[in-house]
Structure 1
Amino acid sequence: MLKIFSLSLCLLLSIFQLAAQDSKTFQLHSHNDYLQTVPFWTAYSAGATSIEVDVILQDGKLMAAHEVESINPKRTIESLYLDPIAEGLKSGVISKIDFHLLVDLKTSAYPTLEVLLESMKDYSDILFSQENPEGLKLIISGNRPKPEDYEKYPAWMFFDYQSKVLSEDLPWEKIGMVSLSFRQFSIWNGKGRMVEDQRKAVQDFIDLVHSFDKLVRFWGSPDSKSAWKAFYNMGEDYINTDHPIAAAEYLSKLGENVYQNPALQDVYQPKFEVDGAKTPVENVILLIGDGNGLAQISSALFSNGNQLNLTQLKNMGFVKTQAADDFTTDSAAGATAYATGEKTNNRALGVDPAGKALENLPDVLDGYGFSSGIITTDQLTGATPASFYAHHPERDDSDQIAAYLPKSKLDLFIGGGGAKFSSEMENLHEAGFTMVENLGETSAERIGYFVANDALPKKLEGRGDYLLESTAFALDFLAKKKTPFFLMVEAANIDSGGHENSSSMIVSEMLDFDQAIAEVIQFADQNPGTLVIITADHETGGVSIPQGDIASSTVELAYHSDDHTGIMVPIFAYGAHADEFRGVYENTEVFHKIMKLVKMNIE
């Protein structure tokens, strides 16, 4: 039974290792690997290419231990390493040897090596040689013979050279790596950044070792994400860690988590002439960045030369996003709160927790003479846009949701998902909607534009300036009506980036959103009486920003989750009565603040 369990474990670990190796461009040294709960296999599963075992010669056996007091008779180099490797190769769990063992001798070099040589005769078929160039190599560390004796040992045995002094006359062909204590160079604890002169000393030594075409490792080095990344960036060949699986997971995702913005966007400078003015509110523009938290905004800011259109604004606050039935909202409940001023259950669109229909902003504002429109980078049956026209308890019932669009008070809708409305086309025409195929000039009173039959592509997949152009068209179309208007613009795929833990998607989608924000701010400057509100329905991904570089437009994002979180989201306002949106409040208050300002015009 134990053998079957061990083999199953090895198979699972092997699968994990192969997945990790597919994406990694780093090498790990599993420090004191014999102390792991599952020695060897933990390191192997993480794709470690250097695996360390301390060895003590006692009673003719090579015990895996750091000191005599910790010796366990069952834990030998054979039982923990050589036998599993041989069995793994035989069973196919190990397809090839792409790692070595670093054997740290804790007892005198020469007698310990004599026993090691004798023990290795039983494993000759797996060892490196001219005839077996892909065989197992052992690198001897700790107590070592004199360098002049290295050549006396077999082809599979190499040595760990430990000195700052390197020269051409060393026996380089028998040196497997160069290792030194990190404390010879730096006192850095792995938090923040290394002091520059210490960092340079480490880098210089790495470069020196590389000049002899050899690999380098530091022991006693900090063992944290910041440290792993720093050593990776400096080119340390074997990153020393006691946590190989965690290190492999972090480093393998660096390519996804780090994003460099290829081109900076210009930023519009608001005039602030109408910002906070007590002029009557004639137009309300609500921009919702789905899933867009403070870290998402910050990542775009740092990737764009430390400036955004959004961050020019001065009136801001925070919104609490909880749903009626859950601490963490979904987009349906979050958008319904903005659209109706009422909390509802997750998954519900435009209805209260009991399922009763709630009037949304386009419905209510129609009674005050407002035109209205919605734009989204999502499908139009998506939770956020649907909250502004539908009344249904389940967000995934696309057919039922689509049926509400012809009945809505909307004058304009632009988004994807046209296929979901195929059965509603006649009803849309009867409701007075002219379905257009582009955003050209039109004299129609009500316009519908399905940009795609299904989902729109992401920004990095070629969506182009769709959101900016749609926003500009909508502003022009609604302004020409010569009536007050309400417009909701959703940037949906910031949320997708959070769900996928994709830094590139988050930054690119937020920067795309920021271009639409600039268009709206400029419109507000040109049209006093316009109120602009920019917020999010919730945060997605539990995103943080551990590192970045503003000069190179690069950020590293880290993720706590692949789902929504309950953290407050920022809200920004510009234009007429923008100062009313300062503070911390519930998401429902956005609706009530809007209505308060609209009603002031009547009174």
Structure 2
Amino acid sequence: MNKILINSFFISLIAVFGAAAQEQKDFSLHSHNDYLQTVPFWTAFSAGANSIEVDVILKEGRLMAAHEAASINSDQTIESLYLDPITKGIKSGLISKIDFHLLVDLKTEAYASLEVLLEIMKDYEYMLYSSGNPGGLKLIISGNRPNPEDYSKYPEWMFFDYQSKELGKGLPWEKIGMVSMSFRQFSVWNGKGRMVEEQRKAVQDFIDLVHSFDKPVRFWGSPDSKSAWKAFYEMGEDYINTDHPIAAAEYLSKLGQNVYQNTNFHEVYYPKFDVDGAATPVKNVILMIGDGNGLAQISAALFANDNQLNLTQLKNMGMVKTQAADDFTTDSAAGATAYATGEKTNNRALGVDPSGKELANLPDILDSYGFSSGIITTDQLTGATPASFYAHYPERDDSDHIAAYLSKSKLDLFVGGGKSRFEKEMVNLRNAEFTLVESLEDLKGERVGYFAAEYSLPKVLDGRGDYLLKSTNAALKFFEKKKSPFFLMVEAANIDSGGHSNSTSMIVSEMLDFDQVIGEVIRFADENPGTLVLITADHETGGVSIPQGDIASQTVELAYHSDDHTGIMVPIFAYGAHSGDFRGVYENTEVFHKIMKLLKEYHQK
């Protein structure tokens, strides 16, 4: 691709997102050796860089953009790469505000080079900084510079890059645009892991010293990685030095979303382990599904809750492979159908095999064994996970058809959102002898349904409160009154939503909400021996990892490989009778078959 096409491509991108990047003021980037970018200036501008560096060499009366004479290209001057593009950007409206400066690194003798620069800038006076044009372009001279006592002889728009650890009140601060130092004078850190504290303090002390003179600071030769960008951002470096301005801007602009400090803690319940793993009869099965909940999501919640969870008290665990029948990466419909029916199916399908044939699900099957059954979700009841336990349909988003299956199911209890989806089904639900109640306190009778919201329930951080905990406790009381064995599926749906939106706060808060419910279910299992508790996920969402965090302050930083589901194995935790049977690595369909094997062993049709 030639230079003209590349420039046109970048300009079209800037029209879409360049202005938004320029408004990002939480951090400032220095585009180091910007003239070496494939598209000089526009790359830095599109990333919102506030400091843009060009090395120049005086040759035959021209300021060539190059680091050394051998690399000079006659077409690349300070005018062609920077001053003319800025002019065109202003005239076209792509540059509505000059909130960046050029750092001009002189590689040839200072006074002669500046004499030529002054002559060049006469053609660009209209856009230069002055007391009458405070929003104009500033040039900061670096590299070979005149003596500090001569700084004041140069125009208002020209400032200088001061490079010394020795700072004092006697310096010409009014003409110093920034203070720059080699990072290697303070630290040998390579940008991986964490800086040695003594070296980190030396860097911080210098930053603070520069700031005491109300000037910005930059380090050259510094590590150029995500860990480094974050470290320098947290220490307050004003212009973070990078050869990768777009990547740095993308990472730093998302830090606020990727880092979360938890302030809502809960105490954990310590299990009794009286019959945990014992080969005693299984009376009840509670399957808890954290939608999208992988190891990183669990770990993040653990670190954010003072390094402890109800879930991580458990001793028996395994790993589940989640692939769908037609795809390496499953969706919730195929994933939950595997748990509900013991068969792999295509993505988007609910309770049917790949050919569309209906599959019997756990509530239907267990009804013949004298079991009651129920589903609870923070999603709408037509959502893929809860619907997999009552519906039989090849398209998860066809809500009208899915809703029609609820009255035909063998469920005795349902709790969730999405009442509006069932407007046409109210008569059928009542004819199926479901009592539709107005509150969780009214879960009484043989068959009960509670619509918790007309549409979707809010997220925890949006005010959902302890809905899932109250719903689960109410359901357990409902089943206790029925005095029959039961199967209950509890879904925490919005961990998945946090993964899709790459929202660390949503992932952590929803996982912690889920963990409070896990604690109460484990307590119930201790009080009701013969209860088998299984906690797992239908898939992982977001390709989440945890690059950094701080347990002492309950803070975690998550990174995301995707905004969709992934094929990563998910954990399964088990507690209670026969919980040891769920150790190992196996397909998601095996969860169903392991449950059925145990129930057939202890129950008769």
Does 2:447 match 1:452?
no
Does 2:569 match 1:568?
yes
Aligned-partner Cα distance in 2 for 1:358–1:127: 73
Deviation of 1:444 after TM superposition, in Å, equals 1.3
Deviation of 1:449 after TM superposition, in Å, equals 0.4
- Equivalent position amino acid for 1:344 in 2: T
Q: Is the 8 A contact 2:294 2:540 kept in 1?
A: yes
Does 2:254 match 1:264?
no
Q: SS where residue 289 of structure 2 aligns?
A: strand
Q: SS where residue 325 of structure 2 aligns?
A: coil
- Equivalent position amino acid for 1:412 in 2: L
Number of residue pairs matched by the alignment: 603
Q: SS where residue 134 of structure 2 aligns?
A: coil
Aligned to 1:254: 255
Once superposed, what is the RMSD of the aligned Cα atoms? Answer: 1.3
Post-superposition Cα deviations, 1:203-251, rounded to whole Å, max 9, x if no partner, equal 0000000000000000000000000000000000000000000000000
- Equivalent position amino acid for 2:67 in 1: H
Q: SS where residue 392 of structure 2 aligns?
A: coil
Aligned-partner Cα distance in 2 for 1:169–1:91: 44
Post-superposition Cα deviations, 1:134-189, rounded to whole Å, max 9, x if no partner, equal 11110000000111111111111100000001010000000000000000000000
Q: SS where residue 55 of structure 1 aligns?
A: strand
**What TM-score comes out, normalization by structure 1 length?**
0.98
Aligned-partner Cα distance in 2 for 1:518–1:337: 26
Q: Is the 8 A contact 2:22 2:46 kept in 1?
A: no
Q: Is the 8 A contact 1:55 1:62 kept in 2?
A: yes
Aligned to 1:424: 425
Aligned-partner Cα distance in 1 for 2:386–2:132: 67
Aligned to 2:177: 176
Q: SS where residue 233 of structure 2 aligns?
A: helix
- Cα distance, 1:463–1:232 mapped onto 2, change above 3 Å: same
Q: SS where residue 516 of structure 1 aligns?
A: helix
Aligned-partner Cα distance in 1 for 2:24–2:79: 31
Aligned-partner Cα distance in 2 for 1:49–1:279: 68
Deviation of 1:24 after TM superposition, in Å, equals 4.3
Q: SS where residue 552 of structure 1 aligns?
A: coil
- Cα distance, 1:442–1:504 mapped onto 2, change above 3 Å: closer
Aligned to 1:36: 37
Aligned-partner Cα distance in 1 for 2:44–2:525: 59
- Cα distance, 1:261–1:366 mapped onto 2, change above 3 Å: same
- Cα distance, 1:167–1:555 mapped onto 2, change above 3 Å: same
Name structure 2 gaps, 5 residues minimum: none
Aligned to 1:77: 78
Q: Is the 8 A contact 2:6 2:39 kept in 1?
A: no
- Cα distance, 1:5–1:229 mapped onto 2, change above 3 Å: closer
Q: SS where residue 179 of structure 2 aligns?
A: strand
- Cα distance, 1:2–1:108 mapped onto 2, change above 3 Å: closer
- Equivalent position amino acid for 2:426 in 1: M
- Equivalent position amino acid for 1:254 in 2: L
Q: Is the 8 A contact 1:348 1:395 kept in 2?
A: yes
Aligned-partner Cα distance in 2 for 1:34–1:8: 18
- Equivalent position amino acid for 2:38 in 1: T
Aligned to 1:557: 558
Aligned to 1:61: 62
Deviation of 1:277 after TM superposition, in Å, equals 1.7
- Cα distance, 1:21–1:270 mapped onto 2, change above 3 Å: farther
Aligned to 1:283: 284
Q: SS where residue 89 of structure 2 aligns?
A: helix
Q: SS where residue 385 of structure 2 aligns?
A: helix
Identity %: 79
Q: SS where residue 440 of structure 1 aligns?
A: helix
Matches within 5 A, 1:59-208: 59-208=60-209
Deviation of 1:32 after TM superposition, in Å, equals 0.2
Matches within 5 A, 1:105-504: 105-504=106-505
Q: SS where residue 13 of structure 1 aligns?
A: helix
Aligned-partner Cα distance in 2 for 1:2–1:176: 32
Deviation of 1:3 after TM superposition, in Å, equals 7.4
Post-superposition Cα deviations, 1:511-559, rounded to whole Å, max 9, x if no partner, equal 0000110110000000000000000000000000000011111100000
Aligned to 1:601: 602
Q: SS where residue 548 of structure 1 aligns?
A: strand
- Cα distance, 1:145–1:442 mapped onto 2, change above 3 Å: closer
Aligned-partner Cα distance in 1 for 2:538–2:9: 45
Q: Is the 8 A contact 1:373 1:487 kept in 2?
A: yes
Post-superposition Cα deviations, 1:21-77, rounded to whole Å, max 9, x if no partner, equal 344400000000000001001000101000000000000100000000000010000
Q: SS where residue 176 of structure 1 aligns?
A: strand
Q: Is the 8 A contact 2:24 2:48 kept in 1?
A: no
- Equivalent position amino acid for 2:157 in 1: W
Q: SS where residue 362 of structure 1 aligns?
A: helix
- Equivalent position amino acid for 1:72 in 2: N
Q: Is the 8 A contact 2:316 2:579 kept in 1?
A: yes
Aligned-partner Cα distance in 1 for 2:99–2:15: 13
Q: SS where residue 482 of structure 2 aligns?
A: coil
Q: SS where residue 551 of structure 1 aligns?
A: coil
- Equivalent position amino acid for 1:43 in 2: A
Does 2:587 match 1:591?
no
Name structure 1 gaps, 5 residues minimum: none
Deviation of 1:5 after TM superposition, in Å, equals 7.9
Deviation of 1:464 after TM superposition, in Å, equals 0.5
Aligned-partner Cα distance in 2 for 1:334–1:90: 55
Deviation of 1:263 after TM superposition, in Å, equals 2.1
Deviation of 1:461 after TM superposition, in Å, equals 0.7
Aligned-partner Cα distance in 2 for 1:24–1:314: 47
Aligned-partner Cα distance in 2 for 1:263–1:467: 16
**What TM-score comes out, normalization by structure 2 length?**
0.98
